[in-house]
């Protein structure tokens, strides 16, 4: 086998220009794949970090309370007991926070906006400080009752700055509109799509707006030490909460505000809990990731087809050039299977070296772009939830890409290899050309 490998390796070296051309193409595809995967992973990571802090936990215990069948409010009543149970049953928990949920109109002297209103206890939110960059004012300002945190674009539209007062007007379950005047305590730098339709006020301000009790909140956001444990935790919580006597909604992987219509149509009243995860709550924006992954798939497929044709052609040429050699080797006793293996080795060696070079280039580009803090246009920033490109390389994925592309190149070479092996020794030996 070593001898076959040696022949394959040295033949690649002998036809240096052809090897470099094809190896370069394989390296290019690998590098592109690594970069696209880095971008996708980076987006996912950014989304996970930013969006989970602003709009969802890794796992959420939310739900709806219905006074009558057709009037649902996105609240969880008597949440301290649920929180206690969750802390006891979820050892994977890093920390948990309660968040109020609302939908309101904010009005300044010059403009107004419809936004989601999050009620937070800013002192209990360690992730919040890490994710948000405060452009103006301080986050601690949200400690005070009747304050609000806006994002830059919102502040610009409303034409307000820190210290100004705006009015929040929200429809209540009784059909009336409640209003509260709040002072702008902080203006944060935009974080993509999330900051277009979210503002934050202290929990008590939100409760007073909706006239809710102190033990009522919008949802419990659970942050885990390891995000990969979300499915297990989610499943366990369903069992534990049901065992504790809570009514649970059927699993529906959508954001809570997309469920009003369904919930209002159902006949039940009282409290039902809804266990969701971050992907459910962000399902309306994770399509960007799906689209990127789809695009990556299509692009890589097309490139692999081109590379495949290139490899086939190259092997055709190699086989044509080496037909006499194949004939000689078959004449001196080499079985057909070994001829196939010899050419497969050649394709595999080319694939392995090409993908290794490509992976290194892709890795260097990812690390370079990431550390250079390359900015992105506003439209892109909206989707990737960051104003700069963040690329994350996952070693497992890179190795996977290398193995996949090498396997593809090797498999593609099977056809010309089989045809080479099928040549009759006498025909091959007397081949001219």
Q: How far apart are CA 375 and CA 365, in angstroms?
A: 15
Closest alpha carbon to 143 in 109, 183, 107, 177: 183
Helix (H) / strand (E) element for 278: namely: helix 278-281
Q: Which pair of structure tokens corresponds to residue 178?
A: 């409640």
Contact between 328 and another protein by CB under 8 A: the answer reads yes
CB neighbour list of residue 7: distance below 8 Å, 6 or more residues apart = 342, 345
Mapped onto helix, strand or coil, the DSSP state of residue 315 is helix
Minimum CB distance to another protein, residue 336 (Å): 7
Minimum CB distance to another protein, residue 421 (Å): 10
Contact between 18 and another protein by CB under 8 A: the answer reads no
Contact between 49 and another protein by CB under 8 A: the answer reads no
CB 181, CB 165: distance < 8 Å: yes
Contact between 244 and another protein by CB under 8 A: the answer reads no
Residue from 87, 183, 338, 431 in contact with another protein (CB under 8 A): 338
Largest CA distance in the chain: 96
User: Which residue has 């709009």 as its token pair?
Assistant: 55
Q: Which pair of structure tokens corresponds to residue 357?
A: 């070079």
Minimum CB distance to another protein, residue 312 (Å): 22
Contact between 336 and another protein by CB under 8 A: the answer reads yes
Which region holds residue 200: left if phi is over 0, alpha if psi is between -120 and 50, else beta?
Answer: beta
**What would the x/- binding string for another protein be over residues 395 to 424, using CB under 8 A?**
-----------------------------x
Mapped onto helix, strand or coil, the DSSP state of residue 185 is strand
Contact between 432 and another protein by CB under 8 A: the answer reads no
Nearer to another protein (CB atom), residue 119 or residue 327: 327
**What would the x/- binding string for another protein be over residues 307 to 326, using CB under 8 A?**
-----------------xx-
Minimum CB distance to another protein, residue 356 (Å): 22
Minimum CB distance to another protein, residue 429 (Å): 7
Nearer to another protein (CB atom), residue 92 or residue 346: 346
Contact between 335 and another protein by CB under 8 A: the answer reads yes
Minimum CB distance to another protein, residue 414 (Å): 19
Nearer to another protein (CB atom), residue 20 or residue 305: 20
Contact between 173 and another protein by CB under 8 A: the answer reads no
CB neighbour list of residue 428: distance below 8 Å, 6 or more residues apart = 323, 324, 326, 327, 328, 330
Closest alpha carbon to 183 in 123, 135, 142: 142
Contact between 14 and another protein by CB under 8 A: the answer reads yes
Nearer to another protein (CB atom), residue 135 or residue 431: 431
Contact between 16 and another protein by CB under 8 A: the answer reads no
Mapped onto helix, strand or coil, the DSSP state of residue 282 is coil
Strands 112-120 and 134-137: unpaired
Residue 133: alpha-carbon gap to chain centroid: 22
Minimum CB distance to another protein, residue 285 (Å): 56
Q: Which pair of structure tokens corresponds to residue 379?
A: 């439209």
Cα end-to-end distance, the chain, whole Å = 28
Contact between 6 and another protein by CB under 8 A: the answer reads yes
Contact between 426 and another protein by CB under 8 A: the answer reads yes
String of b and e for 174-186 (b: at least 16 CB within 10 Å)?
eeeeeebebbbbb
Nearer to another protein (CB atom), residue 392 or residue 421: 421
Residue from 47, 263, 300, 329 in contact with another protein (CB under 8 A): 329
Q: Which pair of structure tokens corresponds to residue 103?
A: 């939908």
Minimum CB distance to another protein, residue 426 (Å): 4
Residues that bind another protein (CB under 8 A): 3, 6-7, 10-11, 13-14, 324-325, 327-336, 338, 424-426, 429
């Amino acid at each position: 086998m070593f001898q076959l490998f040696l022949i394959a390796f040295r033949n690649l070296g002998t036809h240096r220009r052809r090897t470099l051309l094809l190896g370069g193409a394989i390296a290019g595809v690998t590098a592109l794949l690594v970069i696209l995967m880095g971008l996708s992973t980076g987006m996912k990571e950014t989304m996970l970090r930013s969006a989970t802090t602003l709009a969802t936990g890794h796992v959420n215990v939310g739900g709806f309370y219905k006074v009558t069948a057709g009037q649902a409010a996105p609240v969880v009543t008597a949440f301290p007991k649920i929180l206690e149970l969750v802390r006891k049953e979820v050892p994977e928990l890093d920390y948990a926070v309660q968040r109020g949920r609302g939908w309101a109109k904010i009005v300044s002297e010059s403009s107004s906006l419809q936004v989601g209103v999050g009620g937070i206890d800013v002192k209990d939110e360690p992730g919040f400080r890490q994710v948000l960059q405060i452009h103006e004012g301080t986050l601690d300002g949200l400690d005070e009752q009747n304050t609000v945190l806006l994002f830059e674009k919102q502040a610009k539209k409303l034409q307000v700055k820190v210290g100004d007062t705006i009015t929040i007007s929200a429809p209540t379950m009784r059909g009336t509109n409640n209003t509260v005047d709040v002072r702008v305590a902080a203006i944060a730098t935009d974080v993509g799509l999330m900051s277009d339709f979210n503002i934050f006020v202290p929990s008590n301000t939100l409760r007073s707006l909706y006239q809710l009790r102190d033990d009522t909140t919008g949802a419990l956001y659970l942050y885990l030490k390891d995000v990969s444990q979300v499915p297990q935790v989610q499943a366990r919580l369903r069992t534990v909460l049901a065992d504790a006597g809570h009514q649970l909604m059927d699993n529906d992987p959508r954001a809570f505000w997309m469920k009003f219509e369904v919930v209002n149509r159902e006949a039940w009243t009282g409290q039902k809990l809804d266990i969701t995860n971050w992907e459910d709550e962000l399902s309306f924006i994770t399509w960007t990731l799906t689209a990127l992954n789809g695009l990556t798939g299509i692009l890589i497929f097309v490139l692999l087809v081109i590379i495949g044709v290139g490899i086939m052609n190259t092997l055709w040429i190699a086989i044509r050039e080496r037909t006499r050699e194949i004939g000689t080797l078959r004449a001196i006793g080499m079985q057909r299977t070994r001829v196939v293996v010899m050419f497969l080795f050649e394709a595999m060696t080319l694939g392995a070296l090409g993908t290794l070079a490509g992976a290194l280039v892709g890795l260097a580009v990812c690390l370079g772009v990431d550390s250079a803090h390359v900015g992105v246009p506003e439209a892109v920033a909206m989707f990737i939830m960051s104003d700069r490109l963040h690329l994350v390389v996952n070693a497992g994925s890179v190795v996977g890409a290398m193995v996949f592309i090498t396997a593809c190149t090797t498999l593609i070479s099977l056809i010309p290899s089989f045809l080479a092996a099928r040549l009759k020794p006498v025909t091959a030996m007397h081949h001219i050309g």
